[in-house]
Amino acid sequence: MCPAQTSQTEEELLNQCRDNFYLAATVQGRLAYLFMSIHAVNPRIFGSITDYDPSHILFSNMLYGMAVHLFSRPSMYLIGFLHRLSFSILGSMMFNYSTLQVYEWLIQRLEHRPYLLTFLGFFTGRVMIVHLLAYLYHVDTRCMGIGHYIRRDSAYETMYV
């Protein structure tokens, strides 16, 4: 192949770099969300490994990862930069705070059952994040005029009856 055919334009490289950043930040936020779903309901698990309390680091990464995830959604490209940024930050704060409220509710009801509490913390965290992703998928695939191709996901398409 000729070098001109394989080289990418500067704009394509910038878009690829941006997409890679969005992916890395999203994964970072999801991992923090996963660990927080266990730590918030049963801090003794991490306490048995280390004396350090990772709550503030996990929460910060949850906020950051979800905000970047919301900011990078195709349906958000229709909105101006400042509104997109503020909607992403506020959406991240609301989702993560409501998740911690659910964990607090579980702790109040199951304080003396640590195994069940840990399982339910993990399970409810998964249920909440999967439903959020399904909702975002719905919004992204139903927005018109974006100019981005949204790959259809058969798992999410089953929600349409």
Rounded average pLDDT per 10-residue block, the chain, 161 residues: 61 86 90 94 90 93 94 88 96 96 96 94 95 90 68 75 63
pLDDT of residue 148: 63
What sign does the dihedral 36-41-47-52 (CA atoms) show? positive
CB 128 within 8 A of CB 102: yes
Looking at residue 1, what is its pLDDT?
Answer: 45
Q: At 33, list the tokens.
A: 């969300």
Alpha helix stretches (DSSP H) within the chain: 3-6, 10-39, 44-49, 55-71, 81-109, 114-142, 154-157
Residue 2: what pLDDT? 47
Q: Do the beta carbons of residue 29 and residue 65 sit within 8 Å? A: yes
